[in-house]
Structure 1
């Protein structure tokens, strides 16, 4: 059996090894089996200087801090919005406070993935961090609602580059066979921020000022800037291009089409069923715009070949495609749970906002624990593909258990349910490793940006779907369990305010309706997690260590051939 497994590993890695070669200092792309189509005409070779020891630990800390403030800006806004609308008398602008940031962040992901393949990685990252900080200052110092929205958009611009940039820094600071554990630690910043954000936002608003929710980004981001700028060495290219030549390599029209199409989709999902009815011309018009623009984008990508924003040769690679879809489904499930579990604790269990955040800690801790544990396992063995299967199995089971929480569920129920779900969620960082195994060093930024894009889009799509499901099901359950109550009273009041507006004799029925509606919202994550398991079964069964060993043999062989010549 061991002989057969070794043969399988070598065979599975053969196609990858033909695409890339490495030495201890230099990694450079090799022509793929479609030489004429995929050859890098500029003959770029990346000179990579991996870090180690305390220097690597410091670089990892800097990347974690940079990603933490980006993720924090996504979640901290939820508890700050009520105060901002009061200060600026801007209730009608609420939707833009979140979407101005998220729309820019999601739509520019592929564009920055392409930019990182052309320009210096460290320079782009540091400039993006400055842009993010400028946006944070504008938000913190805002004197009007419009100024605040502009600040959010500027911050989103910087954040879009920081997301994929952070993962790229890890990719070029840590050797492939050791990269998984570091990816896990960095990825955990998103989960930590999703819990810490609302708590920090509430604390700043109550104790200091809501503006500190954005001022906090300056010292944290500043430390990240110093660490990356001082300790990280960006990969250098042997062949130098002029600035004009680099700009010519960017797919401006394709990027413009992707940004326009993505914004149409996200706005339609955000407005549909909430701000406007799904049948409203503004909503279906946006869907129509998305349907018309994206085929144009796809045509441009095919025509531009390797010069495209999203080269077809990358996205059609089986592991890249499966990893991207896996991340999309995982994001849909986790965003739904992270948003609606606090709603369950606050509305149904009558727990404070801080208390609900504390009750989500088991989900966070075991998510991070599993991610790091899986990363260490990949570092030791080189195998990663069946961790996707294990994680998705736990995630499906845990999601199913969470959907059974009810009006009288005890700690003995929700606690182990969160532990199982959080443990399964830990495999969500494996796709970053998977795409880096099958892509050449120059392709890694694009692959990382695709995984990050799928995470952002998955969350946006899931929250839109879950909002519609919740509103419709809550209306149905209210007519069943509290027929004497006007549904608009509950629907138009906050999750913690309806108990003050509902008569005491009808409160139990309303709570039951709320509980049932949240259970219904938590059902789709079961399907998302289950489908991710099915997809993961099709991933290429490669080994990180086998790839590196064979690649080094290839490099040494070529050195010998050159010496003999």
Structure 2
């Protein structure tokens, strides 16, 4: 006889794999394009527009994320997720077919619009299809997706450019996305659960438009247009007007995209500014370092992706380490202070690079920068969550992630303007003191950096120095920005760490898109992770003692808990599988519970169920288990919603599959 669990499990795993594929595509496209940019510029021209290939995607995904989350709650996540995949794939096809930089930037924005939906809905759907008792395991898988995409994105981009073409950086999404689309359409059940929202459309549009105006202003100001030009002044005026209108709208909105009361929290303000700077530094470096390596040092796109690995290893390593240390000690303030200090030093070291710097030197400097950024990234979300009141926990979390994402957009755009301005100045200076070969113009080097390879050695060396100096200026300008963040970290208040906040989420730390969870969902995520960790630490021995079952082994207590959670008859083979032991290994413990009068066997000996006494003991175990969970959420204060949460998840967590003693 096949149990419902046996039938459901393969389908759930298939859905999870498809969701992870969708999230991998969205997160990968934040980084995979970086090592392909020099080749794209060589093919399409438009070096001065390079930054917008990254910025267009980041802006669209960031601004659309809140809308995807609310629409998914209101109209069902399955069809919204399918729509996000389709939009993402359409954008990917168009990006790969782009004939100029303007088209590529526009299509990257379309791709980013779909990517925002993939990120937020994939994480939300997990809660729809995975029982609470198994959710902690899958949360770890999604965190791993962010880690893998951060490390492998630049390397994969280089491999595609070297062995296929830059177009395949986008075309590779098609088979993977089509597979995810097919699986989700065929296997994911539609959910009848709907949450009505009064969606803050005006707030989302105004905030997105104001941000876009500011990014355009920082991109064009001083390069494409003078700072005093009507275009730049108009962008500034439009941004200010829309921000003012946004403030008015948010005061009146029933569900504001970002409640203004959050800005009365010093921890939120400091974390948002610091997060903005962290995004600024990380994506600014990731965008222009491949350009430096491929043009100045002449390495292949694949090699430039390998050169970025020390930075991403540093980010990942210290992010994991800081999260674990915070969960263990309960103290977090020192990590952003230390992290921004190290990142400032790392960014300054990068500004010292030139055409003669060795690979080892670059790798060391990149690791220093990555280690510093990693110490900050994981912690900022924790700081905001710990400071926010329960009612604002969800929007505070997404707000902190929003500012880091916007910082990434600004970083790429502003540093792109710095690069372009410095490159123009250096080339103008070089033209004033150098006689160029007949038919050669410096503009050719700006539109297609690969022409350097066809220049006479002396002239090529001059242009290599020009490029090295221009990119080094990018890092030099970013250094004081990171130093300002270091100064601001001293104003972060440290408060006692709430227990559910201490359950770190690697995905939240590394991703640039928020999961857009509600306050209840945020607490539930932390509660489930804490409960799973506690269930693996001799929990059933302690629970048995609380329930007065000292004569019963921890394995026996687990059997009673598992049978009680299942209800009715349960096959002995399924019980053994859930306990991750063979039936023969588990038989002595079953015999113990049978002898104690808590469990009885079926006539054929192949099924088990609780006796009336066993059901009474199970209720006692559940009572003590529920009391322990209430302690984990007690620091949020009394709230009927949290009490209902504990009542709902406690029966599902007790006797779960992965916690057998």
- Alpha-carbon distance in 1 for matches of 2:318, 2:223: 36
Indicate yes or no: 2:150 matched with 1:191: yes
Find the partner of 1:551 among 633, 643, 654.
Answer: 633
Instruction: Describe how 1:53-72 pairs up with structure 2 within 5 A.
Output: 65-72=21-28
Q: Deviation of residue 162 (structure 1)?
A: 3.2
Equivalent residues of 2:294, 2:300 under 8 A apart = yes
CA change 1:257–1:65 in 2 (3 A) is: same
Indicate yes or no: 2:252 matched with 1:298: no
Give the corresponding residue for 1:406: 354
- Alpha-carbon distance in 1 for matches of 2:250, 2:280: 26
TM-score (norm. length: structure 1): 0.71
CA change 1:257–1:355 in 2 (3 A) is: same
Q: Deviation of residue 291 (structure 1)?
A: 1.8
Indicate yes or no: 2:113 matched with 1:157: yes
- Alpha-carbon distance in 2 for matches of 1:423, 1:105: 26
- Alpha-carbon distance in 2 for matches of 1:470, 1:169: 42
Q: Deviation of residue 219 (structure 1)?
A: 1.6
Find the partner of 2:273 among 325, 339, 353.
Answer: 325
Give the corresponding residue for 1:484: 434
CA change 1:224–1:373 in 2 (3 A) is: farther
Give the corresponding residue for 1:44: none
CA change 1:280–1:77 in 2 (3 A) is: farther
Equivalent residues of 1:72, 1:194 under 8 A apart = yes
- Alpha-carbon distance in 2 for matches of 1:317, 1:440: 10
Equivalent residues of 1:132, 1:154 under 8 A apart = yes
Instruction: Describe how 1:484-563 pairs up with structure 2 within 5 A.
Output: 484=434, 488-489=442-443, 492-501=446-455, 503-541=456-494, 542-545=496-499, 549=631, 551-552=633-634
CA change 1:297–1:378 in 2 (3 A) is: same
- Alpha-carbon distance in 2 for matches of 1:353, 1:421: 21
- Alpha-carbon distance in 2 for matches of 1:481, 1:145: 27
Find the partner of 2:204 among 251, 255, 260.
Answer: 255
Indicate yes or no: 2:315 matched with 1:367: yes
Indicate yes or no: 2:257 matched with 1:309: yes
Q: Deviations over 1:24-66 (max 9, x none)?
A: xxxxxxxxxxxxxxxxxxxxxxxxxxxxx99999998766543
Task: Answer with 416-425 or 120-129: which moved more.
Answer: 120-129
- Alpha-carbon distance in 2 for matches of 1:520, 1:67: 35
Q: Deviation of residue 332 (structure 1)?
A: 0.8
Q: Deviation of residue 484 (structure 1)?
A: 0.9
- Alpha-carbon distance in 2 for matches of 1:93, 1:342: 16
Q: Deviations over 1:189-209 (max 9, x none)?
A: 563365135314414643xx8
Q: Deviations over 1:433-483 (max 9, x none)?
A: 333334467745433432332233212222222222223333444566772
- Classify the secondary structure of the residue corresponding to 2:449: coil
- Classify the secondary structure of the residue corresponding to 2:25: helix
Q: Deviation of residue 388 (structure 1)?
A: 1.9
- Alpha-carbon distance in 2 for matches of 1:392, 1:57: 40
**Unpaired stretches in structure 1, ≥5 consecutive residues:** 1-52, 560-565
Equivalent residues of 2:78, 2:190 under 8 A apart = yes
CA change 1:379–1:128 in 2 (3 A) is: farther
Indicate yes or no: 2:499 matched with 1:417: no
**Unpaired stretches in structure 2, ≥5 consecutive residues:** 1-8, 502-526, 528-630, 644-661
- Classify the secondary structure of the residue corresponding to 2:299: coil
Equivalent residues of 1:121, 1:165 under 8 A apart = yes
Find the partner of 1:106 among 51, 62, 84.
Answer: 62
Give the corresponding residue for 2:333: 385
CA change 1:181–1:277 in 2 (3 A) is: farther
Q: Deviation of residue 385 (structure 1)?
A: 3.4
- Alpha-carbon distance in 2 for matches of 1:68, 1:538: 36
Instruction: Describe how 1:8-27 pairs up with structure 2 within 5 A.
Output: none
Q: Deviation of residue 297 (structure 1)?
A: 0.8
- Alpha-carbon distance in 1 for matches of 2:264, 2:184: 36
Q: Deviation of residue 296 (structure 1)?
A: 0.5
Give the corresponding residue for 1:219: 176
- Alpha-carbon distance in 2 for matches of 1:368, 1:229: 35
- Alpha-carbon distance in 2 for matches of 1:314, 1:114: 20
Task: Answer with 293-302 or 347-356: which moved more.
Answer: 347-356
Give the corresponding residue for 2:404: 455
Task: Answer with 479-488 or 285-294: which moved more.
Answer: 479-488
Equivalent residues of 1:168, 1:448 under 8 A apart = no
Q: Deviations over 1:516-561 (max 9, x none)?
A: 32222111332232222222333332314387746347669997xx
Equivalent residues of 2:19, 2:180 under 8 A apart = no
Instruction: Describe how 1:169-184 pairs up with structure 2 within 5 A.
Output: none
Instruction: Describe how 1:31-110 pairs up with structure 2 within 5 A.
Output: 65-77=21-33, 101-110=57-66
Indicate yes or no: 2:466 matched with 1:466: no
Indicate yes or no: 2:381 matched with 1:435: no
Q: Deviation of residue 257 (structure 1)?
A: 2.0
Task: Answer with 141-150 or 367-376: which moved more.
Answer: 141-150
Q: Deviation of residue 401 (structure 1)?
A: 1.6
Q: Deviation of residue 329 (structure 1)?
A: 0.2
CA change 1:445–1:66 in 2 (3 A) is: farther
Equivalent residues of 1:177, 1:545 under 8 A apart = no
- Alpha-carbon distance in 2 for matches of 1:59, 1:538: 44
- Classify the secondary structure of the residue corresponding to 2:281: helix
- Alpha-carbon distance in 1 for matches of 2:242, 2:49: 27
- Classify the secondary structure of the residue corresponding to 2:366: helix
- Count the aligned residue pairs: 497
